[in-house]
Amino acid sequence: MVDVRNFRYDDLDRIAEIVSSSLGEYYPKSLYLEKSRDWEDGFIVGVENGRVVAMLLGIIQGRFETRILMFAVDKRFRRKGIGHELMNRFISLSMAREAKRISLEVRRSNLEAIRFYEKYGFQNTGVLLMYYSDLEDGLKMAKNI
Ligand code: ACO
């Protein structure tokens, strides 16, 4: 059973590990803290047996929109409903902030994540050509809430 809670400073090493293995990116701790500064509640983790196994970092994007910047579940813990728990919590947090829309960007080749987002009602809203550092296109997706 996963427990979803707000991130804590001492989770950051584990979060960086999950981001690096799942998203192929390594960011310094300062980046997570900077991104979460405006909305600490939007940075949540999934914990199983005392261990952080998933993370979702969301930010505020204008008055009525939130944006998912990073979302990843440790590979060994996928397809167990943990992503579902984090997404549901994030939708509730966004609604509590009176957001009307949630947006995100995902790699065009990341069909697993695209299918996941579609399941939650996200729709394709555009393409960002050569958006990633390796020049892969990004897909913009959004959902009204
Ligand atoms: N293929 C098809 N449908 C899927 C898949 C998949 N690989 N994974 C999940 N789903 C759908 C299914 O309908 C699933 O329900 P089911 O298992 O009952 O069929 C439902 O989503 C919920 O699945 P969860 O188990 O809750 O999802 P999970 O915990 O595996 O997390 C996530 C999904 C976050 C996309 C995970 O696969 C992951 O970490 N992927 C690698 C990192 C990544 O791509 N992150 C998103 C990048 S974009 C961004 O960060 C803004």
Cα 62 to averaged position of ligand 1 atoms, centre (Å): 27
Looking at the predicted structure, is the pLDDT value of residue 104 above 90?
yes
| Mutation probe of ligand 1 site: the residue of 116, 118, 132 with most atoms within 8 A of C-beta | 116
* Residue % of the chain over a pLDDT of 70: 100
Average pLDDT over the chain reads 96
Domain residues for 14? 3-144
* Segment 8-15 mean pLDDT: 97
Digit-coded pLDDT (tens) for 108-124: 999 999 999 999 999 99
Nearest atom (ligand 1) to Cα of 113: 35
Cβ–ligand 1 distance for 76 under 6 Å, the answer: no
Q: Where are the beta strands (DSSP E) in 11-137?
A: 43-48, 51-60, 65-73, 101-107, 123-128
- Place 1 in a pLDDT band, splitting at 50, 70 and 90: confident
- Domains identified in the chain, total number: 1
Cα-only R_g, the chain: 14
Cα 111 to averaged position of ligand 1 atoms, centre (Å): 10
Q: Go through 95-122 and write b for each residue having 16 or more CB atoms within 10 A of its CB, e for each that does not.
A: eebebebbbbbbbbeeeebbebbeeeeb
* Segment 87-102 mean pLDDT: 98
Cα 31 to averaged position of ligand 1 atoms, centre (Å): 24
Supply the pTM of this predicted model: 0.96
* Segment 56-80 mean pLDDT: 97
Quote the DSSP letter at residue 75. Answer: G
Looking at the predicted structure, is the pLDDT value of residue 101 above 90?
yes
